[in-house]
Amino acid sequence: MTIGFRVLPRSRKVGAEVVRQFRELPVANVSDVMSRITAAGPRLRPLHAEGILAGPALTVRTRPGDNLMVHKALQIAEPGDVIVVDAGGDLTNAIIGELMLAHAEKIGLSGIVINGAVRDYGAIRIGKFPVFAAGVTHRGPYKDGPGEINVPIAIDGMVVEPGDLILGDDDGLLCVPFDDTTKVYRDACAKQDAEAKIMAATQEGRVSKPWVDETLKRLGCEGV
């Protein structure tokens, strides 16, 4: 099998119930309980009008400006999947546009992530089908390969393996590793509950933050 030009099977992926549970949690809270160290970089932004991105990853690695393997991914993707494409972050040529996105939505995908550029932004920005990308260009793609499907990829240091959980909202994109979803969900729920209590106290005017002065004193700040 040729490294760099191959289609591999996906051996596991997060289930529908896991996806449903995480859809109720802000990406920022999930990020917090993952030590705030995992992120796909600030360039990957939601381009669609509204809507949460959540689903198992079907990964694609392709050379910049070429979408041959993305077309193949659309042929083998299952309903609920999120196709995550590492195109090197290059913005010279669009990897996907309105026609391919309409196909993705029609077959029931949960969204598309492109570490690269898209086109037909006018159609994307008024739609609710989740699309995250690094930029926009009118220049179309090539279809020559090479590329790989269902291999580990990395986007600005965030490793995505096939079947991992992909989450995205207005704050950005996050990958939760397949083996860590149970613990991360439990911790994120606790974080959500704690923030709800802080918000209630804020609305009632009961917020107290003694830790601020305690921290400043510990760090040797003058005048505290």
pLDDT value for 168: 97
Enter the pTM of the model. 0.94
Average pLDDT over residues 190-206: 92
pLDDT tens for 76-96 read 999 999 999 999 999 999 999
> 129-152 burial, b if ≥16 CB within 10 A, otherwise e?
bbbbbbbbbeeebeeeeebbbbbe
Task: Write the DSSP assignment of 53-81 as a string of letters.
Answer: EEEEEEEEEE-TTB-HHHHHHHHH--TT-
pLDDT tens for 154-186 read 999 999 999 999 999 999 999 999 999 999 999
pLDDT tens for 121-159 read 999 999 999 999 999 999 999 999 999 999 999 999 999
Q: Sign of the C-alpha dihedral, residues 84, 80, 122, 26?
A: negative
pLDDT value for 191: 96
**Which architecture characterizes domain 6-186 according to CATH?**
3-Layer(bba) Sandwich (3.50)
- The full set of domain ranges for the chain reads 6-186
Across the chain, mean pLDDT equals: 96
Residue numbering of the annotated binding site for substrate: 97-100, 119
pLDDT value for 5: 97
Alpha-helix residue ranges (DSSP H) falling in the chain: 16-22, 27-33, 68-76, 98-106, 121-125, 181-203, 210-218
Predicted confidence (pLDDT) at residue 1 exceeds the cutoff of 80:
no
Residue numbering of the annotated binding site for Mg(2+): 120
Alpha carbons within 13 angstroms on the beta-carbon side of residue 75 total 8
pLDDT-derived band at 39 (thresholds 50, 70, 90) equals confident
pLDDT value for 207: 86
Predicted confidence (pLDDT) at residue 40 exceeds the cutoff of 90:
no
pLDDT value for 149: 98
Residue numbering of the annotated binding site: 97-100, 119-120
